[in-house]
Structure 1
Amino acid sequence: MSNLSIFVFESQEVRFVGTAEKLEWVAADIVAILYPQADSRNYSNYLGKVPATWKDHKPIMTPGGKQKMATLYEPGLYYLIGRSDSPIAVPFQQWLYEDVLPSIRRTGKYEIPKLDQQQNNKPTLDELVNFAQKVLAPTRLSPELQTITVVRGVQALYPEIAPLAKELVGAIGEVIATSDRHLSPTAIGELYAERNGLPKPVKPQRVNRVLEAAGLQTKEVEIKTDSTGKQSHKNIWYLTEAGKRWGTVTRDKARTHDKIVEHVRWLPDVLDVIDLSVQV
């Protein structure tokens, strides 16, 4: 048996066990790429119609030891790809025909593109930022948090900018949400009562109504009906463009389950532009 070669197509391993003169592949790897939803126990259904002379079995070293596995010769590979209606079939076929097979026939192996070639295929900084902004635009995250998300995304693709990214995130963090800077409506009501010597804090419902009346946030009413037909109402708050000057959106784990929920939080300075003594 020839030496086992492993290379990767879109993060999936493809094991090559042939030679430049006689190509041969581990059949399960090909089926897994062409039919990602298929149960591995049913792979034989896809291989059964491949003519016997176009496939074989070879001992393959696996994490569980050496196992005899079905393999495909070059005609069997073409046959399986040609029968597939999977959307991945065409890009997989292009990759094999235009990149892998010519390399194997020319050098006897598949040569992974060099690092500088891979880097040239990275999106430009402008392309990455534009993409991130399009994805983040519909979210409720504040502009500052969106910027931090973009910076961290760029850092993931270009690790060499990590020191600069750290400085940028730190600088932005000086003016955005933290637990001691941005407060919940409940905490805003308590702070107002403390500053004005009130015996009781202003209720968060009233704080939210005042913030809404001031044009700093808007609401969407979520209505849920339980199994008995009883309805419950929940206000979901969104920052307006004006509100983003004093507010931000934080993401926290819910108290009763693992779902992540979003909350609008406010800088204490918002009390300079709203009047909680007004009845709304």
Structure 2
Amino acid sequence: MDVQLFNFRDHQVRVVAAEDGEPCWVASDVAKVLGYRSAPEVSRFVRGRHKGIAILDTPGGKQQMTVLSEAGLYAAIMKSRAKAAEAFQDWVTDEVLPSIRRRGGYLTPAAAEEALTNPDFIIRLATDLKAERARRAELEAQAKLVAPKVLFADAVSASKTSILVGDLAKILRGNGIQVGANRLFAWLRSHGFLVSRKGTDWNMPTQRAMELGLFRVKETTVVHSDGHTSLSKTPKITGKGQEYFISRFLDGRFQIEEVA
């Protein structure tokens, strides 16, 4: 497999050509630049279709190594907290990618010779570079649009605080999903997360929702004016549940419009 070496500051970054000719970036090299602990850590933030495996020659022999597509690389950059992340992105877009022809083809010695002797080749190369820059700008714009939502969902997943359904509705509205508490309750009932049958368990989490760890039930003892007591039950959405619902509404897997 063709490998081209680039140097960013004190780090060597390997770029390989995938089967379709697109450039792919060795995840372990990207991890070192962007402050991730390892290739598996950086890969965790990249969707499956934007990463793969390449067999590369190393000092220890041939090894299978994780590689990231261009879109995967931008996702890793957006998720990085390293101070060098922005400079790395500028380096990639301003220096590295312009040296790679569209579809990831490298300017090999043979291609370089053709560029010197064939005017049509130079015109085609310039046209491809212009198209590549436009495609790259679109990928960067998409990554910037999605990154805040992904970061928010990841942060919520680690939360240990359970919230009310009404609070979840407020969070969704803050992220562009137009829904109120009553409508969200109706959606949760119609999709099997809350009990829809009228009775003492109405609006309580279903067994399925509890087994998934999406809800917990807060029980409160209420003392009435005549002295008798009763038990009040309130469904609350766990941190895992918040991540579950928010991520699915944001990426379109769940549609609130399904409820009238």
TM-score normalised according to structure 1 size: 0.35
The structure richer in helix per residue is 2
